[in-house]
Every structure is written in C-alpha cells, then in structure tokens.
C-alpha cells in the first residue's frame, strides 16, 4: 500500500481508490484520477524530493515519514477548500482519450479543404 496515497485519500488505500473508481486490473490509478488529484500527488512528491535534499534525509523510515506528512499537508490544503480527493469522480480513461485524439487527428486532413496555392 502506498502510504502517501493513504495520507492523501483520507486513509483509503490505493487499491480501495482503484475499486471506487472502477480502475481495471493492471491499470494505474493515475490513469483515472482527475487532474487536480494528479497535481496534488505531484506537488506532495516534489515537496518530498526537495525536503530530502534540503534536510539530507536518508533511509526509508525518514523519507516515508516526510512523504506521508507532505501528503497530509496537501490534503489539508485541498479539504480546506472543500475538495475531498477520495470523493472526486473518476476522470476519463487516459487510454481512451489517447485513442480518441489519435482518431480525430487522422480525420482532420480529410475534413479540411486544400489551401489554395499562390495566385500567379
């Protein structure tokens, strides 16, 4: 279980969040998280990375403690603004979105008329 995820999601495990958002087996939770939750996770990770360097933290226990603390702090920031990460709906499946964008990109040249060349 990711202790950082549990801190961000109010004690819920990564697997519990995957179940809540109906994430298929073998797919990452992040593929279904809303953008604000992804940014929150990234922000907590970057705070941890910075603190590890600034405080010269070593070893799993001290780094894990720092990571959990940072996720709690980011959660507090969100919940103070009535954003509860574990209550947000799933975002569109990233893989489906990628497929749709590729399909639409293929259709674009067919939908546009050719540009007229320079007049002579």
Q: Return averaged pLDDT per consecutive 10 residues of the chain, 120 residues in all.
A: 92 96 93 96 98 96 97 98 97 82 78 60
* pLDDT at residue 118, as a whole number: 65
* pLDDT at residue 98, as a whole number: 80
Give the range of the structural domain holding residue 50, as residue numbers without chain letter: 3-109
* pLDDT at residue 120, as a whole number: 60
Q: Is the dihedral of CA 69, 59, 33, 14 positive or negative?
A: negative
Residue 115 lies in a domain: no
Residue 27 lies in a domain: yes
* pLDDT at residue 95, as a whole number: 81
Residue 10 lies in a domain: yes
Residue 105 lies in a domain: yes
* pLDDT at residue 4, as a whole number: 96
Residue 114 lies in a domain: no
* pLDDT at residue 55, as a whole number: 96
Residue 38 lies in a domain: yes
Number of domains in the chain: 1
């Amino acid at each position: 279980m990711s202790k950082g995820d549990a801190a961000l999601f109010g004690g819920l495990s990564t697997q519990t969040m995957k179940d809540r958002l109906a994430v298929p087996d073998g797919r990452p939770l992040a593929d279904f998280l809303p953008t604000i939750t992804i940014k929150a996770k990234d922000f907590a990770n970057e705070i941890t990375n910075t603190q590890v360097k600034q405080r010269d933290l070593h070893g799993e226990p001290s780094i894990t403690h720092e990571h959990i603390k940072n996720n709690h702090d980011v959660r507090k920031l969100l919940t103070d603004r009535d954003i509860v990460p574990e209550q947000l709906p799933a975002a569109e499946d990233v893989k489906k979105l990628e497929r749709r964008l590729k399909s639409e990109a293929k259709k674009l040249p067919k939908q546009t008329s050719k540009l007229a060349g320079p007049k002579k």
